[in-house]
Amino acid sequence: MKSGFIAIVGRPNAGKSTLLNTIMQQKLAIISNKPQTTRNNIQGILTDEDSQIIFIDTPGIHKPHHELGRTLNKSAYSSLQDVDVIYYMVDASVPFGSGEEFVLNQIKNKSENIFLLLNKVDLLNREKVMKLILQWQKRGDFKEIFPISALEEFNVEALLKTTKEYLMDGPMYFDPETICDHDQNFLISELIREKVIYRTEEEIPHSVAVVIENRDETDNKILIQAMIIVEKSSQKGIIIGKQGKMITSIRLDAQKELRLILGKRVELDLYVRVEENWRNKEAKIHQFGIGEMDE
């Protein structure tokens, strides 16, 4: 039995969550085209006959602007220790710049086994990809370089095959049935948060948290009560919308998808509460389950 831990790192929007979802073929992480949607180190666990790979999806590494940014960075770095392989993921469709250089320098000496994943090659032609590989070879000491498309599942199989060659003989850390070590409430709250962000577009930034307050299950349905927490009363107004239209759309979107995931009819109650400036209060950040406090 071979087993090991893989951290997926890279700038926000590189495609880390998409890759994890493609690998797990299930909606584990929350995908959004806005940076910084993934906050916790969501683990996907891939078990087959002879191996178990545990994936850690790190929140994007970037220069912090406020408290929340600092917490994100901290948990991104802490997950780099003790992993067997780092997948360093780059959005190959955007030019190399100082932001990318910053991340590259942060991870450079963190592991022996860094795989460079040039993602989104579906947006590029062959020549461009070849050119990028040559350029990236000079930037760091990568064990492997894989041009991939996380979205179109290009080269992901090959990546997994090679990854297994880097794993050591080890125990099965998790029950083979386990695909994700977060509890279901976490997945539910992330899903609701995703719907809030989609529906409200630019108006609601990432200053929104969702807490599951109550969950009741009967034979044919699941009742869920969830609290959406925002920073300003103006944001509360946006989320509720004219005559409650917005929150109804959010609720219906979430209900529909929760039904698919939970396999039962779902009745969702949503509430909105204002917690001023919660992003800058570290205690609150942890209360909402984001980041790791003890280090």
Contact footprint for Mg ion (CB under 5 A)? 16-17, 38
Instruction: Work out whether 150 is an interface residue with ligand GDP (CB under 6 A).
Output: yes
- Write out 191-228 in H/E/C secondary structure: HHHHHHHHHHHHHCCCCCEEEEEEEEECCCEEEEEEEE
Instruction: Work out whether 33 is an interface residue with ligand GDP (CB under 6 A).
Output: yes
Spatial distance between the Cα atoms of 186 and 179, rounded to a whole number of angstroms: 14
Instruction: Work out whether 153 is an interface residue with ligand GDP (CB under 6 A).
Output: no
Residue 3 binds which one of ligand GDP, Mg ion, none, with CB within 5 to 8 A depending on kind? Answer: none
Alpha helices (runs of H) in the chain, residue ranges in sequence order: 16-24, 67-78, 98-107, 126-137, 156-165, 184-200, 233-240, 245-262, 282-287
Q: How far is the CB of 209 from Mg ion (least distance, A)?
A: 16
Closer by beta carbon to ligand GDP, 92 or else 268:
92
Instruction: Work out whether 200 is an interface residue with ligand GDP (CB under 6 A).
Output: no
Which range, of 119-127, 218-226, 227-235, 244-252, touches ligand GDP by CB under 6 A? Answer: 119-127
Instruction: Work out whether 147 is an interface residue with ligand GDP (CB under 6 A).
Output: no
C-alpha 190 chain-centroid distance: 10
Instruction: Work out whether 119 is an interface residue with ligand GDP (CB under 6 A).
Output: yes
CA distances from 233 to 76, 138, 237, 276, 287 (A): 31, 50, 6, 9, 21
Chain positions contacting ligand GDP, by CB under 6 A = 10, 12-18, 31-33, 35, 37-38, 60, 119-120, 122-123, 149-151
